[in-house]
Structure 1
Amino acid sequence: MEMYGENYEKLKIELQDTEWKCDYIDHDRNIARAIVYDDKEQFYFVRAERDDDFGKATLIETAGGGVEENEDLLSAIKRELKEELGVKVEVICKIGVVSDYYNLIHRHNINNYFLCRIKSFGDRNLTEDEINSFHLSTLKLSYEKAVKEYEYRANTRLGKLVANRELPILHQAKEIIDAYNL
């Protein structure tokens, strides 16, 4: 793994859930997520259409998910990107960690973010839940359109939590890409 972005201080962001009351937090979830881009500087995200305890919402999110037992972060991010976007990637660097909370489900999220460039495309391998409950699809957007989409989708309580978590990471990724002509 080439480590671009070493001159950048890795982001470490601590966020609170200001949308739902915190009764208690009873579990942590270690998550690997990525800002994914191609050689034309198009960025790839997942769109989720939810109608659950969090409410009805259409979201933009980075691809990624839970790190499995005995799995390292790099293996997890490569697996998640293959499953959700159908891509094989080069991991450029770690961008940072965002600690946030989903008070509604009593969970603390430890989001490990990476910057990844697409090497090849293939088939996605979504879970039944990702297909039927979240209706996951792929979004391919320019940086400017991605920022606008996050801002637009912050119109729901969950959308606001996701945008607060991911917009600083997206901005940092763009700075690294531009600084190193990636």
Structure 2
Amino acid sequence: MNNEFEIELQDTEWQFSYIDHDREIVRAIVIDNNENYYFVRVQRDDDFGKVTLIETAGGGVEPNENLEDAIRRELKEELGAEVDILSKIGVVSDYYNLIHRHNLNNYYLCRVKFFGDKNMTQTEIDDFHLSTLKLRYEEAVDEYKKYSNSRLGKLIANREIPILMRAKKMIVENHIF
């Protein structure tokens, strides 16, 4: 079930000046056996502005951590989910010009085994106010579109809607449900 694809996106919301660092990131489209999808709602007030967003669970890969260990750790932290990794979906290379960063987002399709306690960082709790969203596919697409009215929301929607669509296609083609 491995038909990875790659997307390269530019930041058209903030003017480019320079990029001074790269960040390797893992993210997941998380599903359960009832065709529900799990995301995080983010409420932030920082350099990007005061915004509420939907985003896939995930985050930065730690030094000497492999990608699959990183996605399992991130999903446990943010969703409290233990998962089976079904497949790598692909990689999205994008930029946050405002903070001079290139993001290398590695996306996975994961199925929930069970939910337990979350283990969020203090930043995720205090600065991003992360909460779990359980949505049907169509609801998730609508949420991304709804929050793409902000500059950051538009960047995230441009990155994640194609991944969500690709995940749905993989689920159908591989008869996951």
Please give the range of the TM-score, normalised by the shorter of the 2 chains: over 0.9
Give CA-to-partner distance per residue, 1:74-119, whole Å, 9 cap, x none.
0000000000000000000000000000000000000000000000
Question: How far apart are 1:56 and its partner, in Å?
Answer: 1.0
Instruction: Indicate which of 76, 79, 86 corresponds to 2:73.
Output: 79
Per the TM alignment, residue 126 of structure 1 is displaced from its structure 2 partner at its CA by 0.6
1:130 aligns with 2:160: no
- 3-state SS of 1:39 partner: coil
| TM-score (normalizing by structure 1) | 0.96
Aligned counterpart, 2:40: 46
Instruction: Identify which of 3, 10, 14 aligns with 1:16.
Output: 10
Determine if the alignment matches structure 1 residue 56 to structure 2 residue 56. Answer: no
The residue number in structure 2 matching 1:114 is 108
- 2:82 is equivalent to residue 88 of structure 1: yes
Runs of 4+ in 1 over 4 A off after TM superposition: none
Deviations 1:148-169 (A, max 9, x none): 0000010100000000000000
| Residue in structure 2 matched with residue 161 of structure 1 by the alignment | 155
For residue 74 of structure 1, give the secondary structure of its aligned residue in structure 2. Answer: helix
RMSD: 0.6
Provide TM-score, normalisation by structure 2. Answer: 0.98
Aligned residues: 176
The unaligned stretches of length 5 or more in structure 2 are none
1:144 aligns with 2:138: yes
Query: Structure 1 residue 45: deviation in Å?
Result: 0.2
SS at match of 2:149: coil
Q: For each residue in 1:128-157, what CA deviation from the matched residue of structure 2 results, as whole angstroms up to 9, or x when unmatched?
A: 111111100000000000000000010100
The 2-side partners of 1:134 and 1:15 are apart by 24
CA distance in 2, matches of 1:36, 1:11: 18
Gap regions ≥5 residues in structure 1: none
Aligned counterpart in structure 1 of residue 29 of structure 2, from 12, 35, 42: 35
